[in-house]
Amino acid sequence: MLGILNIDKPQGLTSHDVVNHVRRKLGTRRVGHAGTLDPLATGALVVAVGPATRFLQYLPLEPKIYEFTVLFGIETASQDSEGEIVAEKPLPPDLETSILEYMPRFTGEIEQVPPMFSAVKKDGRPLYHLARQGIEVEREPRTVYLDEFSLLDVQGAVAKFRCVCSGGTYVRTLAHDLGQIIGCGGHVRELRRTAVGRFKVEDSIGVEEISQDQLVPLADALQPMPMISLSRELTGDVWNGQRVGVRPVPEQKFVALQDPEGRVISVAEVVVGGFLQPACVIPQEAFHAEL
């Protein structure tokens, strides 16, 4: 059993909760996810099953697209509505005008300091473990990229936004930093991830729909990565970890290799000399187990 699931994560579950749900439903321990969603958040969560977990790093998982609402005037410890209120400040006379004035500062390449309530590790310990003990430590800023940051609506102290961003972007921190520069503070009240690369939430399934029949084959999930069909002889070479040669030589850095049955068995790197060096291989036994 192997493949990819695009799951619409419900509010209240952690990404790991969803992984455990998949494990129970499909009866396998080998399950992993790409891109953590906070318990407050909902939306597209890409989950790999079986040997497909090896291929998560090669899936088209960017950009990430979010729609979220921010309550201005109130700051919380976690930068979202699940955290303790730490400050309340008056709103500017015209909140919408202030938002539109400062939003351009948050497009393109920006730096973010990861929130204390995050899975980022400090000396081997997740920051949220320290945060729950009331400990705050210095964090190194990280560079992220926002292709788009747009204001959708403003009603009183609540504004709705959409952002298109790189992986590793903390939407909670984006809302917090915008609130700080406006001067009134703010926190995320609702957050929904509508896309992870080519995986759209409108194509996702609910946790109650998880089944083996819903698994997306790697040949589909890896698109638009080029696919190269191998002969039976070259397929055997790949399973033995050997580099193989094909003509014409692909222009891309990575390509997917398919056996004569059309199953993806490897992602290979195009190396000097035009050879394809397997970077990730599904063991032959994995396909035997399906028979």
What one-character-per-residue DSSP string does 241-254 give?
Answer: T--EE-SSPPSSSE
CA separation for the pair 174, 172 (Å, rounded): 5
CATH class of 3-61+198-219: alpha beta
Work out the average pLDDT over 34-50: 93
Kindly name the residue from 38, 80, 177, 259 that is annotated as catalytic: 38
- Confidence band of 69 (pLDDT split at 50, 70, 90): very high
- In this prediction, residue 283 carries a pLDDT of 84
Work out the average pLDDT over 190-214: 96
180 and 86 Cβ atoms separated by less than 8 Å: no
- In this prediction, residue 252 carries a pLDDT of 85
- Confidence band of 35 (pLDDT split at 50, 70, 90): confident
- In this prediction, residue 131 carries a pLDDT of 55
- Confidence band of 273 (pLDDT split at 50, 70, 90): confident
Work out the average pLDDT over 171-197: 97
- If you ran DSSP here, which 8-state letter would residue 79 be given? S
* 220 among known catalytic residues: no
Work out the average pLDDT over 59-84: 95
Query: How much is the pTM?
Result: 0.89
pLDDT at 8 over 60: yes
Work out the average pLDDT over 147-167: 97
Residue 155, beta-bridge partner list: 158
pLDDT at 166 over 80: yes
Work out the average pLDDT over 253-274: 90
pLDDT at 91 over 50: yes
- Confidence band of 291 (pLDDT split at 50, 70, 90): very low
- In this prediction, residue 286 carries a pLDDT of 77
Residue 46, beta-bridge partner list: 6, 34
**Stretch (H or E) spanning 182:** helix 171-182
- In this prediction, residue 97 carries a pLDDT of 97
- Chain position carrying tokens 């015209």: 94
User: How many CB atoms neighbour CB 157 within 10 A?
Assistant: 15
CA separation for the pair 178, 151 (Å, rounded): 12
Sequence spans of domains, the chain: 3-61+198-219, 64-196, 225-288
Fold of the domain built from segment(s) 225-288: 2.30.130
Mean of per-residue pLDDT scores for the chain: 90
- In this prediction, residue 119 carries a pLDDT of 61
- In this prediction, residue 22 carries a pLDDT of 95
User: How many CB atoms neighbour CB 173 within 10 A?
Assistant: 19
- In this prediction, residue 72 carries a pLDDT of 98
Q: Is there a common fold for 3-61+198-219 and 225-288?
A: no
What's CA 280's distance to the chain center, in Å? 20
67 and 150 Cβ atoms separated by less than 8 Å: no
Q: Enter the CATH code of domain 64-196.
A: 3.30.2350.10
- In this prediction, residue 136 carries a pLDDT of 65
- Confidence band of 247 (pLDDT split at 50, 70, 90): confident
Work out the average pLDDT over 240-266: 88
31 and 19 Cβ atoms separated by less than 8 Å: yes
**Stretch (H or E) spanning 150:** strand 142-155
Please name which of 78, 65, 93 lies closest in space to residue 152, comparing C-alpha atoms.
65
CB under 8 Å to 236, separation ≥6 — which residues?
none
